[in-house]
A and B are shown apart, each in its own frame.
Chain A
Amino acid sequence: MRGERAGHRPGPYSHSPAVAAPLVRLTLRSDSAAIRRALARVQAVLAGLHASGDSLAAVELVLAELLTNIQRHAYGGRPGQIELDLTLCAGEAICTLTDRGGPMPGGQLPPGDPAPIDVPMEALPEGGFGWFLIRSHASALDYRREGDVNVLTVHLPIVLSE
């Protein structure tokens, strides 16, 4: 995107001082091995802050879905780079993912309707669970196209134990 960010944008919580400095900021290739490493890095950092098991699981699942979606759909399996920026603010992990792949269809995030399962076994869906799982966990989701860049921000509740 535009190189280093000049300062921080105000967070969604006007009462909070400023968005904390990024906990994790990394650039990864859009391939499965790099995605696994990035997820492990985020888990290690949040575990070091004593994030609860449920919080860790939700962050890992949602980031896995979002990163895989960028790899498969925005980049269509082609090589590309993804920037991941994670902060904590007001009981939430706020993660911004940036890529230079294709835009979301229609310029919007998919609705993430639950996949239909009240169907005969042979008609059960083998996909279409990802956005549903993302939306099940996220407290906020924002997507925008800036030039040829996708910027997606997800907020996830984080419980830190003392």
Chain B
Amino acid sequence: MELTAQQRGDALVVRVEEARIDAAVAIAFKEAMRQATGGPQRRVVLDLGRVTFLDSSGLGAVVSVMKHLGPGRRLELAALTPNVAKVFRLTRMDGVFTIHGSVPDAASLRHAG
């Protein structure tokens, strides 16, 4: 599972470089995210701009990643494509995560949260 992690402001921005988070890759996604978020950043922004398909396994994996970060750390989502946003909306998970329309710039990720 290909991810790109980049420090931006005070947050870690992790970009998913693949088009699908589905049952085939849900476990690999969770493992890759755990490695990518092993640092101290309290705020992690998951950039889903390239993801065009997310199924219930993928949704479960995103929830799992958030829980694994533990208390005091936050997982936020950014740049959801329409089909992915719809899965979050239908399951009401859009109320659980902070969701940004696009990846916030460094200035807005500094000293916030």
Enumerate chain A interface residues (CB-CB to B < 8 A): 32-33, 35-36, 53, 57, 60-61, 64-65, 68, 71-72, 114-115, 117, 121-122, 124-130, 132-133, 136
CB within 8 Å for A136 and B56 given contacts A64-B23, A126-B67: no
In the bound complex, CA of A72 to CA of B24 (Å):
11
Flag if B92 contacts A35 (CB, 8 Å). no
Chain B residues in 8 Å Cβ range of A122 = 67, 71
How many interface contacts (CB-CB < 8 Å) are there between A and B?
75
Nearest neighbor of B23 in chain A, beta-carbon distance: A68
Interface of A is mostly: helix
Chain A residues in 8 Å Cβ range of B23 = 32, 35, 64, 68, 71-72
Nearest neighbor of A124 in chain B, beta-carbon distance: B63
In the bound complex, CA of A90 to CA of B23 (Å):
31
CB within 8 Å for A136 and B90 given contacts A61-B55, A65-B55: yes
B83 within 8 A of partner (CB): yes
In the bound complex, CA of A32 to CA of B95 (Å):
30
Instruction: Please tell me the size bucket of the interface on B.
Output: 20 to 34
Chain A residues in 8 Å Cβ range of B66 = 121, 124
B64 within 8 A of partner (CB): yes
- A-B residue pairs, 6 tightest by C-beta: A32-B24, A129-B56, A130-B56, A126-B60, A57-B83, A68-B23
Interface of B is mostly: helix
Flag if B60 contacts A132 (CB, 8 Å). no
B76 within 8 A of partner (CB): no
Interface centre among B63, B64, B87 (most CB of A within 10 A): B63
Nearest neighbor of B30 in chain A, beta-carbon distance: A126
Nearest neighbor of A63 in chain B, beta-carbon distance: B55
Chain A residues in 8 Å Cβ range of B60 = 125-127, 129
In the bound complex, CA of A125 to CA of B67 (Å):
10
Closest CB in chain A relative to B10 CB, distance in Å = 21
